[in-house]
């Protein structure tokens, strides 16, 4: 009797594991293209500021030996040059170790009849020494484009799609833990080099999945918080705050000042004195300043920055310009629990709580997850191709959509880097041209994947094309901007060379992987030939 009960329990357990395995594999294949995109774009934009400096700084090197122009002089010069809507706000993002430019954002006057809609925003890159507008921020769109791919896929409802993908990814992680629960520690580092190829791929998928589990769980949960927060916000506004959205924002720690202009002019010099005092504080890194009702007696300035003495502490101060009165502050002694929790999650998500070494570790882990996704797709394709009830057309479709899109994203990113470098800065539509090149490369690579039967050969070809494009990018860097890159290095702006080192490492790894794939292809060819000879002799 006890034996029958035990057998019954074992059968139930095996059935549950089998169902979880099927769910895990199907969910993995369905979300794999977008999940790969999210992790791949996220890995690159861990170095957002470095990529931005690589794109812009060689085009407009800063003469660091000059004295920095006063911020007030820069801002008021830009206000004189653009039709600024003084009913709106003005934001200035400060230069940093990675970015030697001011970024000035001006809400422009809206056309007649369009007053109820958000108007055009002028986003200016300004040389901090000369005060000259060197470009529009949108002209150098590579870093922003990849970052938007990461969090909203550059689609209108992309934020919600990424949130749903995060939800399914979380389920895939939990189901993977249950599937391998019994052998999670016993086979933790198992990688069978002496077995057939499927065993090696399965071990690679499992080992990467286990070793990155804390990292992936953190990303899945934080992705849910960021991308589906609007769902919770709507529910709170409707059911708890009775439709009062401002009350929700206030309780969540977001300060709102909805005051009207007095229409009495005011000298804004005291505002810049407050800003300079904040910038002189060695423990406070001012990131940006927002002006409300600029040049009016109702003017308020908002100063945001990082408190360097604490982990993930973002301070915020509001001042009345006319009197210098501190209206509101959010710091280590006066913070909101909701807002503080979100800041901690964001800091962990972006890996910006320590030096570049942590971001390099995050990058390696993110790329490992991309490899895990690609290997999982290959395992699924191998399994389904052995089943007689699965059509060859459906196999080709999944191969093109999953494996093709994964490889295509890598190549398309390299093409985007090349376009960002070689398209002249004087062309107004250069950002659009870069995006078109990215999309065309991705679509073409996916289309070719439908016509290539050998997955390893396809991946090797895509990697080879990527390596060639990156080599061309490095050559273009030094042929076009060698003296500027050397000058930037001497002035302490070394992110340009850092990005080039990253490209060189990717080229090296790419060549190594191509050689490995070529060896595997030759080994499989010899095995297939030997099998044919044996069959021939037996006949």
Is residue 128 predicted with pLDDT exceeding 90? no
Instruction: Give residue-wise pLDDT tens across range 401-422.
Output: 777 888 999 999 999 999 999 9
Is residue 476 predicted with pLDDT exceeding 90? yes
Q: How confident is the model at residue 11 (pLDDT cuts 50, 70, 90)?
A: low
Q: Give the pLDDT of residue 531.
A: 47
Q: Give the pLDDT of residue 177.
A: 78
Is residue 134 predicted with pLDDT exceeding 70? yes
| 538 vs 203, higher pLDDT | 203
Rg (CA), the chain: 27
Q: What is the mean pLDDT of residues 356-360?
A: 87
Number of other residues whose CB lies within 10 A of the CB of residue 398 = 19
At CB < 8 A and 24+ separation, what contacts does 155-159 make?
159/227, 159/230
Range among 70-74, 108-112, 195-199, 348-352 rated most confident = 70-74
At CB < 8 A and 24+ separation, what contacts does 489-492 make?
491/61, 491/62, 491/64, 492/64, 492/97
| pLDDT > 70 in the chain, percent | 80
What is this structure's pTM?
Answer: 0.85
Q: How far apart are CA 359 and CA 363, in angstroms?
A: 6
In contact, 264 and 86? CB cutoff 8 Å: no
* Least confident piece of the model among 13-17, 34-38, 292-296, 514-518: 13-17
Q: Which residue has the tokens 């099927």?
A: 22
Q: Give the pLDDT of residue 433.
A: 94
* Least confident piece of the model among 58-67, 165-174, 465-474, 508-517: 58-67
Q: Give the pLDDT of residue 28.
A: 82
Average pLDDT score, the chain: 82
Q: Give the pLDDT of residue 397.
A: 76
Range among 257-261, 291-295, 394-398 rated most confident = 291-295
SS3 annotation, 417-483: HHHHHHCCCCCCCHHHHHHHHHHHHHHHHHHHHHHCCCHHHHHHHHHHHHHHHHHHHHHHHHHHHHH
Q: Give the pLDDT of residue 538.
A: 33
Distant-in-sequence, close-in-space partners of 90: CB < 8 Å, separation ≥ 6 = 75, 79, 84, 104, 105, 106, 107, 290, 291, 294
* Least confident piece of the model among 70-79, 186-195, 392-401, 404-413: 186-195
Q: How confident is the model at residue 211 (pLDDT cuts 50, 70, 90)?
A: confident
Is residue 459 predicted with pLDDT exceeding 90? no
Q: Give the pLDDT of residue 264.
A: 93
Is residue 39 predicted with pLDDT exceeding 60? yes
* Least confident piece of the model among 178-182, 339-343, 386-390: 386-390
Q: Give the pLDDT of residue 520.
A: 59
Q: Give the pLDDT of residue 255.
A: 67
| pLDDT > 90 in the chain, percent | 37
Residue 232, CB-side half-sphere exposure with 13 Å CA sphere: 11
DSSP state of 84: B
In contact, 402 and 32? CB cutoff 8 Å: yes
In contact, 283 and 75? CB cutoff 8 Å: no
Instruction: Give residue-wise pLDDT tens across range 236-286.
Output: 555 566 666 666 666 666 666 778 889 999 999 999 999 999 999 998 999
Q: Give the pLDDT of residue 253.
A: 61
| 257 vs 295, higher pLDDT | 295
Q: Give the pLDDT of residue 419.
A: 96
Is residue 534 predicted with pLDDT exceeding 70? no
Is residue 2 predicted with pLDDT exceeding 70? no
Is residue 164 predicted with pLDDT exceeding 60? yes
Instruction: Give residue-wise pLDDT tens across range 231-245.
Output: 566 555 555 666 666
The 133-136 sheet, strands edge to edge: 133-136, 121-127, 101-107, 89-93, 284-292, 300-307, 314-320, 326-330
Is residue 210 predicted with pLDDT exceeding 80? no
Q: Give the pLDDT of residue 16.
A: 74
Q: Give the pLDDT of residue 160.
A: 84
Nearest in space to 464 (alpha carbons), one of 411, 523, 419, 500: 411
Q: What is the mean pLDDT of residues 174-184?
A: 73
In contact, 128 and 100? CB cutoff 8 Å: yes
Evaluate the CA torsion angle 54, 38, 353, 326 in order and state its sign: positive
């Amino acid at each position: 009797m006890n034996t029958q009960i035990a057998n019954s329990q074992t059968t139930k357990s095996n059935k549950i594991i089998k169902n979880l395995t099927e769910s895990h594999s199907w969910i993995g294949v369905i979300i794999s293209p977008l999940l790969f995109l999210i992790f791949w774009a996220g890995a690159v934009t861990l170095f957002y500021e470095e990529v931005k400096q690589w794109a812009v700084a060689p085009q407009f090197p800063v003469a660091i030996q000059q004295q920095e122009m006063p911020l007030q002089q820069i801002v008021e010069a830009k206000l004189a040059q653009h039709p600024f809507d003084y009913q709106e706000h003005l934001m200035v993002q400060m230069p940093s170790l990675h970015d030697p430019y001011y970024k000035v954002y001006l809400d422009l006057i809206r056309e007649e009849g369009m007053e109820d809609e958000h108007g055009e925003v002028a986003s200016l890159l300004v040389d901090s020494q000369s005060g000259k507008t060197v470009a529009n921020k949108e002209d150098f769109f590579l870093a922003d484009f990849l970052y938007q791919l990461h969090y909203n896929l550059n689609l209108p409802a992309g934020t919600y799609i990424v949130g749903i993908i995060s939800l399914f990814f979380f389920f895939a992680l939990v189901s993977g833990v249950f599937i391998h629960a019994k052998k999670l520690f016993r086979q933790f580092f198992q990688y069978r080099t002496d077995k057939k190829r499927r065993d090696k791929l399965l071990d690679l998928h499992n080992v990467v999945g286990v070793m990155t589990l804390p990292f992936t769980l953190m990303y899945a949960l934080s992705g849910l918080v960021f991308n589906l927060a609007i769902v919770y916000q709507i529910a709170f506004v409707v059911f708890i705050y009775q439709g009062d959205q401002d009350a929700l924002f206030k309780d969540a720690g977001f300060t709102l000042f909805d005051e009207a202009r007095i229409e009495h002019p005011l000298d804004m010099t005291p505002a810049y004195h407050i800003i300079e005092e904040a910038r002189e504080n060695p423990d406070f890194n001012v990131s940006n300043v927002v002006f409300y009702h600029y040049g009016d007696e109702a003017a308020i300035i908002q100063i945001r920055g990082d408190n360097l003495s604490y982990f993930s502490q973002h301070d915020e101060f509001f001042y009345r310009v006319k009197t210098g009165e501190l209206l509101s502050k959010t710091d280590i002694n006066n913070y909101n629990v909701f807002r503080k929790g979100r800041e901690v999650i964001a800091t962990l998500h972006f890996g910006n709580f320590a030096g570049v070494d942590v971001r390099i570790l995050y990058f390696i882990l993110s790329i490992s997850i991309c490899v895990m996704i690609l290997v999982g797709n290959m395992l699924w394709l191998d399994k389904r191709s052995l089943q007689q009830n699965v059509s060859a057309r459906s196999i080709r479709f999944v191969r093109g959509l999953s494996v093709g899109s994964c490889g295509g994203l890598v190549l398309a990113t390299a093409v985007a880097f090349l376009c960002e470098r070689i398209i002249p800065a004087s062309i107004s539509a250069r950002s659009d041209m870069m995006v078109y090149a990215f999309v065309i490369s991705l679509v073409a690579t996916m289309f070719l994947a439908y016509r290539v039967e050998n997955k390893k050969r396809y991946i090797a070809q895509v990697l080879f094309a990527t390596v060639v494009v990156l080599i061309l990018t490095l050559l273009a860097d030094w042929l076009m901007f060698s003296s500027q890159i050397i000058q930037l290095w001497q002035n302490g702006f070394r992110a340009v060379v850092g990005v080039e080192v990253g490209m060189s490492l990717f080229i090296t790894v790419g060549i190594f992987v191509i050689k490995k794939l070529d060896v595997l292809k030759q080994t499989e060819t010899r095995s297939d030939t030997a099998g044919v000879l044996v069959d021939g002799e037996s006949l």
